[in-house]
Structure 1
Amino acid sequence: MFGTRNADRNTPLHEAAKRGNAEIITTLLHHNKCAAAKRNRFGESALLIASEHGHVEAVKLLVKTTPVYIILWPTENHQTCLHIATYEGHSEMVELILE
């Protein structure tokens, strides 16, 4: 279940991040912390997706477990989660990511 992916290569963690479901994110990370390092076919991590959708609680959970190289690694559009959070005007998330 934890390794399954959809057509866009999103994992269950990506989908939970998209919806901002902190409870599911916590459960998934409890069972597999490495899931935070997975990227979909667009090069997006769960942290990037949560940042884009403005889910502060999800970002708080994900920023703790996402490896730094994934946080800094750009997508195929050359954007990081910091770029996305800034572009979307999510200043609280920008602060969380920079911490």
Structure 2
Amino acid sequence: MTAASAPPLSDNQLLLVARLAQCAPLRYTPAGLAAQDMLLEHASRQFEAGHLRQVTLTLKAVAFGEQAQQLSRLALGTQLRCAGFLAAAYRGKGVVFHLQHFEPIE
């Protein structure tokens, strides 16, 4: 598929600060691309309908290529500022956050 024939981009962007809770061993796709599966944990306080509420969640995430290799070297518990998009999980069970960019938070 060329850029000219690719479907148009639409809004599917997620920005999230989260803690690296679990990392599976670094794996490689059949095409030889590094892939890192992980779980991210987020906790914050958010205003909703004029009230403050505590928000916590655990989210499946994946990164590919150089991002995957960099993530595989981070210690569990590292706080990350992440950007990416959401996609259906394998076999359509839930969603997965596909990290396209991240940076550790000191």
TM norm structure 2: 0.19
**Structure ranking higher in helix proportion:** 1
Greater strand proportion: 2
- Flag the structure with more relative contact order, 1 or 2, with Cα contacts below 8 A and sequence separation at least 6: 2
The normalised TM-score by structure 1 is: 0.19
Which has the higher Rg, Structure 1 or Structure 2? 2
